[in-house]
Chains A and B, each alone.
Chain A
Amino acid sequence: MNNFIFLTVLITISNFSFAEVIHKERSLYRNIIVEDSFNLRCLKFNVKTSKTNQSCLYKDDPQKLVFNYTKLLFSSLLLLDKAPEKILIVGLGGGTMSNTLHQLYPQALIENVEIDPSVIKVARQYFGFFENDKVTSKVQDGRIFVKRAAMKKQKYDWIILDAFNGDYIPEHLLTKEFLQETKTLLSKNGVLSANTFSVSDLYAHESATYKAVFGDFFNVRNRKNSNRIILTSNNTALTSEAIITERVKSLQPKLSPYGIDIIQISSNMSSTKDEQDWSGDTKILTDQFSPANLLNQ
């Protein structure tokens, strides 16, 4: 809790005057800004709006995760029956997710896909994003990557969709067709987690679309409900509570060095089987109908 207050204060302060811009560039898709304030280094995609921090790290403790939603993504581990061997991350940000996962699972193959080459460059330069024979990154549109991977019959144990942070939402990554293509990439018990929208009109449309493709899923939220993770698996029957409780226990010591409190996260998981908070006649998003940017206002 103290940490939380400290962080909130830090971020608030950083938005005023103490932040020092250490790198700024206009990429093909957006403005990229790297800012330092005290111990915190953040990646931003725009200056004006306040909710623009894409990725942050503590300079003196880069291992510790800063963002809540990044931590929430780890709830995926509760649905996996074994350590993931192949992981796909769509949307790189500062590369913190990739770095953390490599430390946790040094044997796992991690593929990062990012549309903007400048983001990859900045992640390497300022956020310690590293690649080796296990960790790779590719400059490509997520949709194309998924389509090509499906053609090559690739399978992943864990797919993370994290391409929805910017000011512009890639509409073709929200549709039923895209989710179906992504589903074919999941291994037998593979898990998909998507960092999605929690407040706008898009919430209902997105929920309905995921449900249409995957059936019931888990919503994972933080206390402030500023983020929602959709957590679902190829295995239609979602993992039972008993198994989850057991996995929480074994994962807690492993994850706590990264600042992830899996016990707390697991208590914020709710299945749509028990609680569906959008109207049943919500139109699902398809390649034919996906006005995501207009809905997200």
Chain B
Amino acid sequence: MGIELLGGRILAPFFGSSVHIWGSIITVFMLSLSFGYLLGGKLSTKNASLTRYGCIFLFAGIMVLPIVAWSVNIMEVIFINIEDSRYGSLAASMALFFIPTIILGMISPYSVRLLVTDKDKSGQVAGVLYFVSTLGSALGTIITSFYFVLFFEVNSIIFTFSIALILLGIIAISFDRLSKTHKESYSGVVHE
């Protein structure tokens, strides 16, 4: 959500702040989250492990980085080639946010797979997960829009998000390594 919110800021220099900008951003985020859920669910059916789960975080963190590095170049190309700022902003949101958001969407269903141990409790687990991830989104939104933008540059905020994701990934993977020796089961941290 933090990234979605900054999306508006990132696109504005090239595509303005008309209402259709938010239309584009929200469309792309919803679309990619939906694919992410599907893929995450599919992936969780084969050899689900905390290591693979950590890899999703790691991968998401890496895929966010092109936004920091190349967003201006990417938007420039799109701006020159697409006159209509509606389709321009849609194409730009696709190019920048589609892939990272798909990967981020994979986290939720995969978490369900890792956390559910008992069929009777699966609904409760899913409920807690929705709670945590949606609450996290709400917090991410308010903190980013109220405070982060006041103190930091857009790129620094996204970079921090990326580092946080990568760290969470590394923690999950190393935890898995450790617990394999201890034969413990562990439930990962959920963060969206």
Residues of chain A having any CB pair with chain B under 8 Å: 28-29, 115, 140-144, 147, 151, 170-172, 175, 177-178, 286-291, 294-295
Contact = CB atoms under 8 A, between A and B. Distances in A.
A98 to B, nearest CB: 21
Interface of B: 9, 12-19, 79-80, 85, 146, 149-150, 152-155
Given A141-B85, A147-B79, A172 B16 contact: yes
30 contacts: A28-B19, A115-B16, A140-B16, A141-B18, A141-B85, A142-B16, A143-B13, A143-B16, A143-B17, A144-B16, A144-B85, A147-B14, A147-B79, A151-B80, A170-B17, A171-B17, A172-B12, A172-B13, A175-B13, A287-B12, A287-B13, A287-B154, A288-B154, A289-B149, A289-B153, A290-B9, A291-B149, A291-B150, A294-B149, A295-B150
A64 B9 CA distance: 40
A144 B80 contact: no
A151 to B, nearest CB: 7
Q: Is the interface of A mostly helix, strand, loop or mixed?
A: loop
Nearest to A116: B18
Contacts of A290: 9
Contacts of B17: 115, 141, 143, 170-172
Contacts of A144: 14-16, 85
B153 A178 contact: no
Contacts of A141: 15-18, 85
Contact of B12 (A28, A143, A295): A143
Nearest to A289: B153
Nearest to B157: A288
A201 to B, nearest CB: 10
8 closest A-B pairs by beta carbon, nearest first, are A141-B16, A288-B153, A172-B12, A291-B150, A287-B13, A291-B149, A144-B16, A288-B154
Given A29-B19, A143-B16, A178-B13, 4 more contacts: A28-B18, A115-B17, A172-B13, A290-B9
